[in-house]
Structure 1
């Protein structure tokens, strides 16, 4: 009896073994391919959930390194102060801060800045509590350090400081401005200071220079851009504060400086200073925005020029290589009121928007529209 039981047990074990095949030997003979893993294993029972989640996350990190879209938005000249002679005027920038609050000034164009990776403006004033370092000039612009909250409320994360009014209160004013920006967590670049923003393991470098500094030694611009390259930047934005105020066409010196910046390794040149919009140039694999005009401009209570743009740049990277640049031009008016400067830019629409784009087109050698796309050929 015991022998019969043992014999039956042996037959049963043999049958089970013959019907088991190793996973790696299971083929779809018709297609001569290994079957999909889901045909062999059931992840919910054979592999712990934690392992699946870890594998997916790890793969996404590997795939995203050096690949992805980075969106940068640029606004023009920002003066967060009235001229020293107008500070006590009832229509001054300082009076507007007291009456309207910090979130008033960029609320009309906030949507242009809040859904990107980084927004940058040209900060054309000093931020300091007092007049220490005051130098008598044609115009002196000094806002309070807490005015950085205006930028933060407007979703501005970075500023260029390479402009003439950064020096309105000498070394003390420069130091106070940088301290205010640092305390507010706002990035800055220009005047020999560099900033590097990183996303998808892609490094975007920022620097900037004034026209007068360039003329003292043009080689300095080349050296600054070289330093950014040597820092491992995959893309370089270089701000140039240049040109003649209120001239709607860029001049030969602007063209020379901007092209030299591209030749030195910059990918995007953003121009400020003229207080009006100017043209756009595609030079080699670089892009030049000669002037964006004003944004929040407290320095003039009686504006005569209201047209400006906000520029949105989308950078498409694959394996650390820039394949395509999408440029969106957003026409704006520097003030929502034409009777006086209310310091609150608003979007331009209809014929007014077309007129702003027409001004840019007049100073450009390429077709201008609200949306433009540029491919890299390197």
Structure 2
């Protein structure tokens, strides 16, 4: 992520510069300005902005890590080189890390109790990931030790996380990233942990939807940030549309202050919705971003994508503009040679009727809103 300080040019606001040297009156007026006045001028006259990119489930099955195993470890990065540049060019990148990253010390494993090689974090770095959700139904697959080791890995790589925590204090910590002078807050939750019990007295380990004050959390963090992103891990697996109760919940979140809701868990794509809230904002809801990189084999579970949009702030108001979606596809020969590629290129990787699949995905993802632009390659 490019954490750039805004650069503001004041020439001409209080008087110009002469051709033969600095204008003394201009210099004098600038030095007499109070800091609050400078901030007010910046807020009123200058636009701050950044680009945001997000994708769905990074779901490391045993077939996947076995396929990328080398003599030196696990080479995930070479399998995503066709897609990673489209995320790397975004200023802020969010992903759903679906599986614990505990490494061989905790025993590598696939479904139903996942644990990924440490090199799975190389994959996140290759995507330019700034923050991940680690709240999902597999968060406790390796129990508390898996959560703690995964968080260690994130911290070693400089990747922020939201939804699962290492302590009570960590759970209380606001997740706020500042990008080009714009403060972005994140909250994240999961419907459950596949029946894995949370250790007694350690409810902080993972944020459960039913036992968390979700709306209150949103309202509280909204007061501290310019943009608020909510990650929700819930829904029904393999259903192509959200349940109405979940859709209404997402809409209510936007009314409470959320600007973006990113949905995970169904492992298939669900439409993107743009809600015009009562206070006049246009909030983005991606009900399910599907699988991004996994070993699931049905066509629907091989399809995913990157949602992108521009965030702009001017005169104290923040907006989300130019919502776009780039479909992706995980190519494989049965359980070998996994490659993440743009869906627009999938014919070159053996997908039959790739043009029709692309057309179907485009139609599906825009069913709830015609303001979403489907792009072959994300800008």
Q: 2:189 aligns with which of 197, 209, 212?
A: 209
**2: CA distance between counterparts of 1:131 and 1:303?**
32
Partner of 1:293: 290
Question: Helix, strand or coil: the match of 2:85?
Answer: helix
Partner of 1:126: 100
**2: CA distance between counterparts of 1:215 and 1:166?**
14
Bigger radius of gyration, 1 or 2? 1
Structure 2: 5+ residue stretches without partners: 1-14, 165-170, 193-206, 345-354
Q: Do residues 352 (structure 1) and 357 (structure 2) align? A: yes
Q: Do residues 78 (structure 1) and 58 (structure 2) align? A: yes
Question: Helix, strand or coil: the match of 2:289?
Answer: coil
Q: CA RMSD in A?
A: 3.3
Structure 1: 5+ residue stretches without partners: 1-34, 372-378
Deviations 1:220-267 (A, max 9, x none): 11122133224x111100011111111011112221321232122111
Shift in alpha-carbon separation, 1:252–1:108, aligned structure 2, 3 A: same
Aligned residues: 313
Question: Helix, strand or coil: the match of 2:221?
Answer: helix
**1: CA distance between counterparts of 2:292 and 2:305?**
8
**2: CA distance between counterparts of 1:249 and 1:237?**
21
**1: CA distance between counterparts of 2:133 and 2:219?**
19
Question: Would you say the 8 A contact 2:102–2:117 is kept in 1?
Answer: yes
**1: CA distance between counterparts of 2:120 and 2:92?**
19
**1: CA distance between counterparts of 2:180 and 2:111?**
45
Partner of 1:221: 214
Deviations 1:340-362 (A, max 9, x none): 46443110124432221122234
Partner of 2:229: 237
Partner of 1:154: 127
Shift in alpha-carbon separation, 1:150–1:36, aligned structure 2, 3 A: closer
Question: Helix, strand or coil: the match of 1:224?
Answer: helix
Shift in alpha-carbon separation, 1:144–1:323, aligned structure 2, 3 A: closer
